[in-house]
C-alpha cells in the first residue's frame, strides 16, 4: 500500500537542497508587515500632534 503524504519535504525544509526561493522572503516580510508599519507611523504622528497642541 502506497503511503499518502499531504506535505512536500522539499517545500517544508530550509536547507541547501530545498525548493523554497529564499530571495522572496524579504518581500514577503515587507508586504505582510506593512499594516503594522503603517499603524505605527499613524500612531506616532498622532502622538506628535497631541504633544504640539499640549505645549
Amino acid 54: pLDDT: 64
Q: Quickly tell me which residue has 499603524 as its cell.
A: 39
The tens digit of pLDDT for each residue in 3-24 reads: 888 887 766 767 777 777 778 8
Strands (E), 3-55: none
Question: What is Dmax (Cα atoms) for the chain?
Answer: 77
Residue 31 near residue 38, CB atoms below 8 Å: no
Amino acid at each position: 500500500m502506497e503511503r499518502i503524504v499531504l506535505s512536500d519535504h522539499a517545500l517544508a525544509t530550509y536547507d541547501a537542497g530545498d525548493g523554497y526561493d529564499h530571495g522572496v522572503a524579504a518581500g514577503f516580510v515587507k508586504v505582510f508587515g506593512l499594516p503594522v508599519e503603517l499603524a505605527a507611523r499613524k500612531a506616532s504622528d498622532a502622538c506628535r500632534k497631541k504633544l504640539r497642541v499640549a505645549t
